[in-house]
Amino acid sequence: MMINKLIKTNNLVIQNNPTYSRMIQTYFKLVLNPWYQNCRMLTTSVHTYCSISVLDPWFVVGFTDGEGSFTITIYKDKEYVTGWHIQAMYQIHLHAKDLPLLKQIQSFFGVGTIQTIKSNNSAIYRVTHKKELIERIIPFFDKYNLLTQKRADFELFKSVVILMQNREHITKEGLIKIVNIKASINKGLSNTLMEYFPNVLPVNRPIIETTEIPDPAWISGFSSAEACFDVTIAKNNSNLKYQTKLRFRITQHVRDRALLDLIRKYLNCGRLEYSRDVVEISVTKFSDILNIVIPLFEKYPIQGVKVLNFKDFCKVALLVKDRDHLTASGLSIIKTIKSRMNNSRDENDK
């Protein structure tokens, strides 16, 4: 057996350090466990972070709900009759480590460009050509509706693209219409545009009322963008022993509290927590994590670099499931796993 071979090789060290011996045995129990092997199948090469070759449409919608944006840019340009240039853009801006996922999304739509920015180590997928927006992006999101309040931005964005398709953007009247629409998209008008268009009349934003989660792949996409897989280790004040807790959470602006409640109901676990202008769905009950959260993402995988955090989350869950977190050796392994998760993860870490 591999364990015995390793123990034999390090016999002198192990004889003098029983804790080290237990750590080795706990580690290999983790690595060789079929349940953990199933979690490992969720990832491929560390250079791709993507476990499926073709993205599910609802995954793309969920990921866009989390990381995508629909923007209208207006800036001065003397070459245009109105003196203003208008550009509509669908984009997703991520850390450069998620470049493979952006390439998958680009392949999914079959249009758009990807730009890498070395100064901040990021990458942006963009679709700006009017023809591509009209023929690929808008029909897709008309068929597969966004679930967050971002759908209101999309609907306003679409109305601008239609005005541009009808060439109204090259008239002064059309320009004013577009400025009024832009005033209600995302963060509204910049101070510069407010100075040039002081009489702007923002249009009403559409009211978005999502009533159901249409597909679990949407949760996978939204979680790949927005979710956190946390591991905490704290000392119990009553007996001075350490406790290991796992938590799955998604945090959003309070305007999407109804959507997070739909996710909670869909999962049939977790609770909503409020703090100022944010709301969070949090799942901490271990049986729910083991029987609901992890199986969901085994079937509908997390994509992108976040899958590495989910993979470590699964490792810790297995150790807790087998009660190894109650041993010094198991706790030491959990501390090591935790030390490289989320913001502490090294760029080359698997």
What CATH number is associated with residue 184?
3.10.28.10
Could you give the 3-state DSSP secondary structure of residue 107?
helix
pLDDT of res. 63: 98
In a domain, 27, yes or no: no
Q: Report which listed range, 207-216, 324-333, 334-343, is most confident.
A: 207-216
Residue that has been written with the tokens 């959260």 in this structure: 293
Banded pLDDT at 226 (limits 50, 70, 90): very high
pLDDT of res. 26: 55
Give dist(CA 219, CA 196) in Å, integer: 42
Give dist(CA 129, CA 135) in Å, integer: 10
Asked if residue 192 has pLDDT above 60, the reply is: yes
Contact criterion met (CB below 8 Å) for 221 and 300? no
More confident residue, 206 or 344: 206
**Strand intervals (E) in the chain:** 68-76, 84-95, 113-117, 122-127, 227-235, 242-253, 271-275, 278-283
In a domain, 210, yes or no: no
pLDDT of res. 349: 55
* Domain finish residue from 161, 196, 231: 196
Provide the whole-model pTM. 0.85
My answer on whether 162 and 66 are in the same domain is yes
In a domain, 289, yes or no: yes
How much of the chain is helix, strand and coil, in % rounded to 5?
50, 20, 30
* Domain finish residue from 196, 231, 262: 196
For 180, the token pair is: 């009024």
Q: With pLDDT > 70 as the criterion, what percentage of the chain qualifies?
A: 82
Mean pLDDT of all residues in 283-298: 97
pLDDT of res. 13: 40
Number of compact structural domains in the chain = 2
Long-range contacts for 206-211 (Cβ within 8 Å, ≥24 apart)?
206/151, 206/152, 206/155, 206/156, 207/152, 208/148, 208/149, 208/151, 208/152, 209/258, 210/147, 210/148, 210/258, 210/259, 210/262, 211/262
Domain residue limits at 119: 57-196
Contact criterion met (CB below 8 Å) for 343 and 97? no
